[in-house]
A and B are shown apart, each in its own frame.
Chain A
Amino acid sequence: MKVLVCVKQVLDPHGMTVNRKAEKVFINREEYILDPASKAALEAASHLKQGGAEVMAISVGPERVEDALREALARGADRAIWIRSEGGDALVVANLIAAAVHKIGAVDLIIAGHQALDTGAGELAPRLAEALDWPQILGAVKLDAGEQGVTAIVQQAGFVQVKASTPVVVSMLAETYRGSYANGWRLMDAYKKWNVEAWSTSELELGEDDLRPLTAKKEDAFPPERQLGTPVRDVKELVMMLKREKVIAS
Chain B
Amino acid sequence: MDFELSREHQALRRLIREFAEEEVRPATRQADRSSQPPLKVLKKAAEIGLLGVPFPREYGGMGAGETGYCILMEELGRVDTSFATIIGAHIGIGTMAIYLGGSKHLREKYLPDLCSGKKIAAFALTEPQAGSDAASIKLRATKEGDSYILDGSKMWITNGPMASTMSILAVTDPALGARGGATAFVIETRDENGQATEGFTPGKYEHKMGLHGSPTAAIAFDNFRVPQENILGQTGLGFVVFMQTLDIGRVSLGAATLGGAQASLQQVLEWAAMREQFGKPLAQMQSIQFMIADMAAEIEALRSLVYRTAWLVDNQKPFIKEAGMCKLLGSEIASRCVDRAVQVLGALGYSRDVHMERGYRDSRIAEIFEGTNEIQRILIAEQLLREVGVRIRP
Contacts and interface: CB of A to CB of B under 8 A. Distances in A.
So, do A and B actually touch in the complex, CB under 8 Å? Answer: yes
A187 interface: yes
A71 interface: yes
B8 A185 contact: no
Contacts of A67: 7, 10-11
B18 interface: yes
B207 to A, nearest CB: 32
A74 B15 contact: yes
Interface stretch (A43-51, A87-95, A176-184, A221-229): A176-184
Interface string B1-35: 00000111011101100110011000000000000
Contacts of A134: none
B11 A187 contact: yes
Nearest to A183: B48
B50 interface: yes
A70 interface: yes
B8 A181 contact: no
B49 A184 contact: yes
Q: Which 8 A-B pairs have the closest CB atoms?
A: A184-B49, A191-B8, A185-B49, A184-B62, A182-B15, A181-B48, A184-B48, A183-B48
Q: In the complex, which range does the number of interface residues on chain A fall in?
A: 10 to 19
Interface of A: 33, 67, 70-71, 74, 179, 181-185, 187-188, 190-192
Contacts of A71: 11, 14-15
B63 interface: yes
Contacts of A185: 49, 57, 62
Identify whether the interface residues of A are mostly helix, strand, loop, or mixed. helix
Contacts of B50: 184
A187 B44 CA distance: 16
A77 to B, nearest CB: 14
Given A179-B23, A181-B19, A190-B11, 19 more contacts: A67-B7, A70-B7, A71-B11, A71-B15, A74-B15, A181-B44, A182-B15, A184-B12, A184-B15, A184-B49, A184-B53, A185-B49, A185-B57, A187-B12, A188-B8, A188-B63, A191-B7, A191-B8, A191-B11
Nearest to B273: A17
Nearest to A186: B49
B246 interface: no
B64 interface: yes
A36 to B, nearest CB: 10
A173 B53 CA distance: 32
A192 B8 contact: yes
Interface residues of B, number: 22
A71 to B, nearest CB: 6
Nearest to B8: A191
A187 B19 contact: no
B23 A187 contact: no
Interface string B339-383: 000000000000000000000000000000000000000000000
Nearest to B18: A181
B48 A33 contact: no
A26 to B, nearest CB: 13
A192 B53 CA distance: 15
Contacts of A70: 7, 11
Nearest to A182: B15
A185 B55 CA distance: 11
Contacts of B48: 181-184
A20 to B, nearest CB: 13
A182 B63 CA distance: 16
A146 B227 CA distance: 54
16 contacts: A33-B14, A67-B7, A67-B11, A71-B15, A74-B15, A179-B23, A182-B15, A182-B48, A183-B47, A184-B53, A184-B64, A185-B49, A187-B12, A188-B64, A190-B11, A191-B7
**Which interface residue of A179, A182, A183, A192 has the most chain B CB atoms within 10 A?**
A182
**Which interface residue of A70, A182, A188, A190 has the most chain B CB atoms within 10 A?**
A188
B62 A188 contact: yes
Contacts of B19: 181
**Which interface residue of A183, A187, A190 has the most chain B CB atoms within 10 A?**
A187
A147 to B, nearest CB: 31
A194 B115 CA distance: 22
Contacts of B12: 184, 187-188
Given A33-B14, A71-B14, A188-B64, A183 B8 contact: no
Contacts of A33: 14
Contacts of A183: 47-49
A183 B53 CA distance: 12
A187 B22 CA distance: 19
B231 to A, nearest CB: 30
Contacts of A182: 15, 48
A226 B84 CA distance: 41
Interface in B48-76: 48-50, 53, 57, 62-64
A213 B6 CA distance: 35
Nearest to B22: A179
A67 B7 CA distance: 8
A118 B18 CA distance: 19
Given A188-B62, A188-B63, A188-B64, A181 B15 contact: yes
A9 B10 CA distance: 15
A146 B18 CA distance: 32
Contacts of B14: 33, 71
Contacts of A187: 8, 11-12, 15
**Which interface residue of A33, A70, A185, A191 has the most chain B CB atoms within 10 A?**
A185
A40 B112 CA distance: 31
Contacts of B22: 179
A190 B14 CA distance: 14
